[in-house]
Amino acid sequence: MPTLSVYRLHFRAGLHLGVRGVTLEEAAVSLPSDTLFSALVDAWQRLGGPVERWLAPFLQEPPDPPFVLTSAFPFAGAVRFYPMPVDLRGLFAQPEAGKRVKRIAYLSEGLLRRALSGEKLDDWLPPEGPTGPDDPGQSAGLLLQEGKLWLDGETELKQLPQWMHVDPKSRRPRPRAAYPHLEAWKEGRTPRVTIDRISSASNIFHIGHVRFAQECGLWFGVQWRRPAQRIEGTSTTYAESVTAALQFLQDEGLGGDRSVGYGAFTLETGQEGTAREAVSLPDSSPGGMAWLLSRFHPRTPAEIATLQAEGVAYRLVDVAGWLRSPDGPAQRRRRIHLLAEGSWLPAGETVLGGLVDVQPVYENQEGMLSHPVYRSGFGVAVGFTQEANHG
């Protein structure tokens, strides 16, 4: 049973996470696992840590990483959310029911556990049409964030932040129909100005950002394999290095537009800066299917062959952008494609993946960096029980 050490990030100001293929005016809500891994590597390097030694177990053949990461997903109060699966048909007894939940981007941990145990989620489906203020609601499920978040309205409703339960104007408990309109985050745009160096002409543009409400933010899980393993040639363990890197990133920030404070966060920690809590989820069983909680890059022929297996459903994401290195100017990384969170794959040892070198390659060798640039494609997946039938 995979156990994830849970890290919760409370962002102090806005957060800008670029979305590939759209303008700066748009911003994503979740933080991909490959971006998070790169941030840890960069932080460790800036702390003076030996990056090559730190990466050694990730790069050996076959890879033997001390830990792997999920992507970072929203939370509201004590309720953690997970990515909806790429193929919705396995969640419901009636295949057409999936059309009613296309807007939902994340489901709660309670609903995830029900799905992984083989239970169909038809009874937790939200109403098909808009509900009025006096509508008591006919579904056991509940929506937030204009339908993007889906949770178990019977038990998880009580775990939401207190401010969600009381109307600030009337000071009365909110009706159930009001919850879909509550926002765990707000999306906005901030104006910026650039000055032309030659003409001094100004040019206004906008940066998209996300601001989380009180007691809301992003969480991610670390699946430790050997937290006490020491980094080669040092007395520092991988658990200690991850803690140090996260503490460094609190003020350094994550994502873009960090020069104005975006991306800075407060990390909820337990003793000695470690994760405050842990969650155990069902493991994948041989012959079953696995649900990706991270991005994934199939590395071996066996992993690539699984993409042709029966029942597989995946979505590819185009990963490109810019890199930052102390050994040269900012440059565009080589573009790669990764499997997105929520993809369904055959369970077992096939879900491991590896690092991908995205160092740009030029005909003129003088412009090349002196070191490789890696993007993480290590996968984290949870599995369905033997009794589950999602075919």
- The DSSP string of 40-62 is HHHHHHHTT--HHHHHHHHHSSS
Q: Are 277 and 6 in contact (CB under 8 A)?
A: yes
pTM, 2 dp: 0.89
**At 59, which amino acid appears?**
L
- Strand pairing category for 149-152 and 106-108: parallel
Residue 34, phi then psi, degrees to nearest 5: -70, -35
DSSP 229: P
| DSSP letters spanning 272-312 | GG-BSEEEE-PPP-TTSEEEESS-B---SHHHHHGGGSTT-
**For position 129, what pLDDT does the model report?**
60
**Angle of helix 238-252 versus helix 33-46 axis, rounded to 10:** 90
Core vs surface per residue 117-134: b (16+ CB within 10 A) or e:
eebbbeebbbeeeebeee
Q: Are 257 and 16 in contact (CB under 8 A)?
A: yes
Q: What is the largest CA-CA distance in the chain?
A: 69
| pLDDT tens, per residue, the chain with 391 residues | 579 999 999 998 888 887 655 555 556 788 999 999 999 999 999 999 999 999 999 999 999 999 999 999 999 999 999 999 998 877 888 766 666 688 899 999 999 999 998 898 988 887 666 554 445 455 688 999 988 999 998 899 999 999 999 998 888 999 888 999 999 999 888 787 888 888 888 888 777 789 999 999 999 999 999 999 999 999 999 999 999 999 999 999 888 778 777 889 999 877 666 777 899 998 877 777 889 999 999 988 888 888 888 889 999 999 888 887 777 777 888 899 999 999 998 876 667 899 999 988 887 777 777 788 899 999 999 987 655 544 4
> Rounded to an integer, what distance in angstroms lies between the CA atom of residue 250 and that of residue 266?
6
**Does the domain made of 1-77+187-280 have the CATH classification 3.30.1120?**
no
Q: What six digits make up the tokens of 107? A: 């489901």
Non-local CB neighbours of 390 within 8 Å, separated by 6+ positions = 90, 91, 118, 289, 311, 384
Cα 209 to Cα 62, 156, 314, 390, distances in angstroms: 39, 28, 28, 37
Q: For 122-127, which contacts have Cβ atoms below 8 Å and span 24 or more sequence positions?
A: 122/92, 122/93, 122/94, 122/97, 124/150, 124/152, 124/153, 125/92, 125/97, 125/100, 125/101, 126/100, 126/101, 126/150, 126/180
Q: Are 284 and 381 in contact (CB under 8 A)?
A: yes
Q: What six digits make up the tokens of 164? A: 């969600």
The residues facing 346 across adjacent strands are 289
Core vs surface per residue 363-378: b (16+ CB within 10 A) or e:
eeeeeebeeebbbbbb
**At 194, which amino acid appears?**
T
Residue ranges of the domains in the chain? 1-77+187-280, 288-383
> Rounded to an integer, what distance in angstroms lies between the CA atom of residue 168 and that of residue 43?
41
Whether the bond into 127 is cis, omega within 30 of 0: no
> Rounded to an integer, what distance in angstroms lies between the CA atom of residue 376 and that of residue 40?
11
DSSP 128: S
Q: Are 380 and 293 in contact (CB under 8 A)?
A: yes
